[in-house]
Structure 1
Amino acid sequence: MEFNEYQKLANRTLYGNEQVLTNCALGVASEAGELVDLVKKYTFHGHDLDKKELTKELGDVLWYLSQIAEWADIPFEEAAVQNIEKLRQRYPDGFSEERSRHRVE
Protein backbone atom coordinates (compact mmCIF):
# COMPACT_ATOMS: atom_id res chain seq x y z
CA MET A 1 0.00 0.00 0.00
CA GLU A 2 1.22 3.48 -0.85
CA PHE A 3 1.46 6.13 1.87
CA ASN A 4 -1.02 8.49 0.20
CA GLU A 5 -3.51 5.67 -0.35
CA TYR A 6 -3.23 4.76 3.34
CA GLN A 7 -3.78 8.42 4.29
CA LYS A 8 -7.01 8.63 2.28
CA LEU A 9 -8.33 5.28 3.52
CA ALA A 10 -7.49 6.16 7.12
CA ASN A 11 -9.32 9.46 6.75
CA ARG A 12 -12.60 7.59 6.34
CA THR A 13 -12.53 6.83 10.06
CA LEU A 14 -11.59 10.31 11.28
CA TYR A 15 -14.25 11.86 13.44
CA GLY A 16 -13.98 15.57 13.18
CA ASN A 17 -14.61 18.82 14.88
CA GLU A 18 -12.63 22.01 15.20
CA GLN A 19 -10.13 20.21 17.43
CA VAL A 20 -8.92 17.59 14.91
CA LEU A 21 -5.27 18.66 15.06
CA THR A 22 -5.17 18.66 18.85
CA ASN A 23 -6.97 15.32 19.04
CA CYS A 24 -4.55 13.73 16.56
CA ALA A 25 -1.44 15.19 18.24
CA LEU A 26 -2.60 13.88 21.61
CA GLY A 27 -3.45 10.57 19.95
CA VAL A 28 0.12 10.21 18.63
CA ALA A 29 1.46 10.76 22.15
CA SER A 30 -1.02 8.35 23.69
CA GLU A 31 -0.44 5.56 21.17
CA ALA A 32 3.33 6.08 21.24
CA GLY A 33 3.11 5.68 25.00
CA GLU A 34 1.36 2.33 24.57
CA LEU A 35 4.07 1.25 22.13
CA VAL A 36 6.81 2.38 24.54
CA ASP A 37 5.13 0.45 27.35
CA LEU A 38 5.38 -2.76 25.32
CA VAL A 39 9.09 -2.13 24.77
CA LYS A 40 9.61 -1.31 28.45
CA LYS A 41 7.92 -4.52 29.56
CA TYR A 42 10.01 -6.50 27.08
CA THR A 43 13.28 -4.77 28.00
CA PHE A 44 12.96 -4.45 31.77
CA HIS A 45 10.17 -6.74 32.97
CA GLY A 46 11.03 -9.97 31.21
CA HIS A 47 7.89 -10.06 29.04
CA ASP A 48 7.90 -11.65 25.62
CA LEU A 49 7.71 -9.11 22.84
CA ASP A 50 4.16 -9.41 21.57
CA LYS A 51 4.65 -8.65 17.88
CA LYS A 52 0.93 -8.72 17.20
CA GLU A 53 0.33 -6.03 19.83
CA LEU A 54 3.42 -4.10 18.69
CA THR A 55 2.12 -4.11 15.11
CA LYS A 56 -1.27 -2.87 16.33
CA GLU A 57 0.30 0.02 18.24
CA LEU A 58 2.53 0.93 15.28
CA GLY A 59 -0.58 1.07 13.13
CA ASP A 60 -2.35 3.30 15.65
CA VAL A 61 0.58 5.75 15.65
CA LEU A 62 0.63 5.62 11.84
CA TRP A 63 -3.09 6.43 11.70
CA TYR A 64 -2.72 9.54 13.84
CA LEU A 65 0.35 10.72 11.91
CA SER A 66 -1.47 10.27 8.62
CA GLN A 67 -4.39 12.32 9.88
CA ILE A 68 -2.17 15.16 11.09
CA ALA A 69 -0.73 15.24 7.57
CA GLU A 70 -4.24 15.11 6.11
CA TRP A 71 -5.37 18.01 8.32
CA ALA A 72 -2.36 20.06 7.20
CA ASP A 73 -2.93 19.11 3.54
CA ILE A 74 0.45 17.36 3.36
CA PRO A 75 0.60 14.20 1.26
CA PHE A 76 1.77 11.51 3.67
CA GLU A 77 4.22 10.20 1.09
CA GLU A 78 5.84 13.65 0.97
CA ALA A 79 6.66 13.42 4.67
CA ALA A 80 8.20 9.97 4.14
CA VAL A 81 10.22 11.06 1.10
CA GLN A 82 11.52 14.19 2.84
CA ASN A 83 12.53 12.16 5.88
CA ILE A 84 14.48 9.65 3.78
CA GLU A 85 16.20 12.48 1.90
CA LYS A 86 17.19 14.13 5.21
CA LEU A 87 18.63 10.83 6.45
CA ARG A 88 20.42 10.30 3.14
CA GLN A 89 22.11 13.69 3.45
CA ARG A 90 22.90 13.24 7.13
CA TYR A 91 24.21 9.67 6.79
CA PRO A 92 25.15 9.10 3.12
CA ASP A 93 26.89 5.80 3.89
CA GLY A 94 24.43 4.67 6.56
CA PHE A 95 24.39 5.57 10.24
CA SER A 96 27.70 6.28 11.94
CA GLU A 97 28.32 7.45 15.48
CA GLU A 98 30.96 9.86 14.22
CA ARG A 99 28.55 11.62 11.83
CA SER A 100 25.91 11.65 14.55
CA ARG A 101 28.21 13.38 17.03
CA HIS A 102 29.35 15.97 14.48
CA ARG A 103 26.11 16.49 12.63
CA VAL A 104 25.56 19.72 10.75
CA GLU A 105 21.95 20.66 10.06
Structure 2
Amino acid sequence: MNFEEYQKEANKTLIGDEQVLTNCALGLASETGQLVDLVKKYTFHGEEMSKEQLTKEMGDVLWYLSQVAEWNDINFDDVAKYNIQRLRNKKNKLAKK
Protein backbone atom coordinates (compact mmCIF):
# COMPACT_ATOMS: atom_id res chain seq x y z
CA MET A 1 0.00 0.00 0.00
CA ASN A 2 1.32 3.44 -0.86
CA PHE A 3 0.57 6.66 0.97
CA GLU A 4 -2.12 7.75 -1.48
CA GLU A 5 -3.97 4.46 -1.06
CA TYR A 6 -3.60 4.70 2.70
CA GLN A 7 -4.96 8.26 2.73
CA LYS A 8 -8.06 7.28 0.74
CA GLU A 9 -8.72 4.16 2.84
CA ALA A 10 -8.17 6.08 6.08
CA ASN A 11 -10.64 8.71 4.94
CA LYS A 12 -13.32 6.03 4.63
CA THR A 13 -13.05 5.50 8.39
CA LEU A 14 -13.51 9.19 9.26
CA ILE A 15 -16.54 9.69 11.50
CA GLY A 16 -18.36 13.02 11.38
CA ASP A 17 -17.91 15.96 9.09
CA GLU A 18 -17.87 18.95 11.41
CA GLN A 19 -14.67 20.57 12.58
CA VAL A 20 -12.63 17.88 10.83
CA LEU A 21 -9.42 19.90 10.73
CA THR A 22 -9.61 20.84 14.41
CA ASN A 23 -10.52 17.29 15.42
CA CYS A 24 -7.67 15.81 13.39
CA ALA A 25 -5.09 18.36 14.56
CA LEU A 26 -6.03 17.79 18.20
CA GLY A 27 -6.07 14.01 17.66
CA LEU A 28 -2.63 14.23 16.06
CA ALA A 29 -1.27 16.10 19.08
CA SER A 30 -2.87 13.64 21.47
CA GLU A 31 -1.62 10.53 19.68
CA THR A 32 1.86 12.02 19.28
CA GLY A 33 1.86 12.61 23.03
CA GLN A 34 1.00 8.97 23.63
CA LEU A 35 3.87 7.88 21.39
CA VAL A 36 6.26 10.22 23.18
CA ASP A 37 5.05 8.86 26.51
CA LEU A 38 6.02 5.33 25.45
CA VAL A 39 9.53 6.56 24.63
CA LYS A 40 9.74 8.45 27.94
CA LYS A 41 8.71 5.39 29.94
CA TYR A 42 11.25 3.27 28.07
CA THR A 43 14.06 5.81 28.42
CA PHE A 44 13.57 7.07 31.97
CA HIS A 45 11.42 4.51 33.76
CA GLY A 46 13.07 1.33 32.52
CA GLU A 47 9.87 -0.04 30.97
CA GLU A 48 10.15 -2.40 28.04
CA MET A 49 9.35 -0.99 24.63
CA SER A 50 6.31 -2.77 23.26
CA LYS A 51 6.64 -3.06 19.50
CA GLU A 52 2.89 -3.69 19.29
CA GLN A 53 2.00 -0.56 21.29
CA LEU A 54 4.55 1.54 19.42
CA THR A 55 3.13 0.33 16.09
CA LYS A 56 -0.41 1.16 17.25
CA GLU A 57 0.51 4.70 18.29
CA MET A 58 2.48 5.28 15.09
CA GLY A 59 -0.55 4.12 13.12
CA ASP A 60 -2.80 6.53 15.01
CA VAL A 61 -0.38 9.40 14.28
CA LEU A 62 -0.27 8.39 10.62
CA TRP A 63 -4.08 8.28 10.41
CA TYR A 64 -4.55 11.76 11.84
CA LEU A 65 -1.75 13.20 9.71
CA SER A 66 -3.23 11.65 6.57
CA GLN A 67 -6.59 13.21 7.37
CA VAL A 68 -5.13 16.68 7.91
CA ALA A 69 -3.69 16.29 4.40
CA GLU A 70 -6.97 14.92 3.04
CA TRP A 71 -8.93 17.83 4.51
CA ASN A 72 -6.74 20.27 2.57
CA ASP A 73 -6.66 18.14 -0.61
CA ILE A 74 -2.95 17.45 -0.22
CA ASN A 75 -1.82 14.14 -1.68
CA PHE A 76 -0.01 12.18 1.03
CA ASP A 77 2.37 10.67 -1.55
CA ASP A 78 3.38 14.22 -2.48
CA VAL A 79 4.03 15.03 1.18
CA ALA A 80 6.32 12.01 1.50
CA LYS A 81 8.19 12.77 -1.75
CA TYR A 82 8.62 16.44 -0.86
CA ASN A 83 9.90 15.59 2.60
CA ILE A 84 12.48 13.10 1.33
CA GLN A 85 13.76 15.57 -1.28
CA ARG A 86 13.99 18.33 1.34
CA LEU A 87 15.93 16.03 3.68
CA ARG A 88 18.30 14.95 0.89
CA ASN A 89 19.00 18.58 0.05
CA LYS A 90 19.66 19.34 3.71
CA LYS A 91 22.02 16.38 4.04
CA ASN A 92 23.89 17.39 0.89
CA LYS A 93 24.35 20.94 2.19
CA LEU A 94 25.67 19.64 5.51
CA ALA A 95 28.04 17.24 3.74
CA LYS A 96 29.59 20.13 1.80
CA LYS A 97 30.54 22.00 4.99
Same-fold call, TM cutoff 0.5: yes
C-alpha deviation, 1:30, in angstroms:
0.2
Q: Distance between the aligned counterparts of 1:62 and 1:82, measured in 2?
A: 17
Judging by fraction of residues, say which structure has more helix.
2
Q: Quote the RMSD (CA, aligned, Å).
A: 1.7
- Unmatched 5+ stretches in structure 1: 94-98
Deviation sequence 1:25-45 (CA, Å, 0-9, x none): 001100000000000000000
| 1:8 maps onto 2:8 in alignment | yes
Matches within 5 A, 1:80-91: 80-91=80-91
Q: Distance between the aligned counterparts of 1:51 and 1:35, measured in 2?
A: 11
Paired residue type of 2:36: V
Deviation sequence 1:49-69 (CA, Å, 0-9, x none): 011000000000000000011
* Equivalent residue, structure 2, for 1:18: 18
* Equivalent residue, structure 1, for 2:75: 75
C-alpha deviation, 1:15, in angstroms:
1.4
- Unmatched 5+ stretches in structure 2: none
* Equivalent residue, structure 2, for 1:33: 33
* Equivalent residue, structure 2, for 1:64: 64
Q: Distance between the aligned counterparts of 1:22 and 1:42, measured in 2?
A: 31
- TM-score in terms of structure 2 length: 0.93
* Equivalent residue, structure 2, for 1:96: none
Q: Distance between the aligned counterparts of 1:18 and 1:9, measured in 2?
A: 19
Paired residue type of 2:19: Q
Paired residue type of 1:28: L
Aligned length: 96
RCO higher in 1 or 2 (8 Å CA, sep ≥ 6)?
Answer: 2
| 1:43 maps onto 2:43 in alignment | yes
Q: Distance between the aligned counterparts of 1:18 and 1:60, measured in 2?
A: 20
Residue identity (%):
65
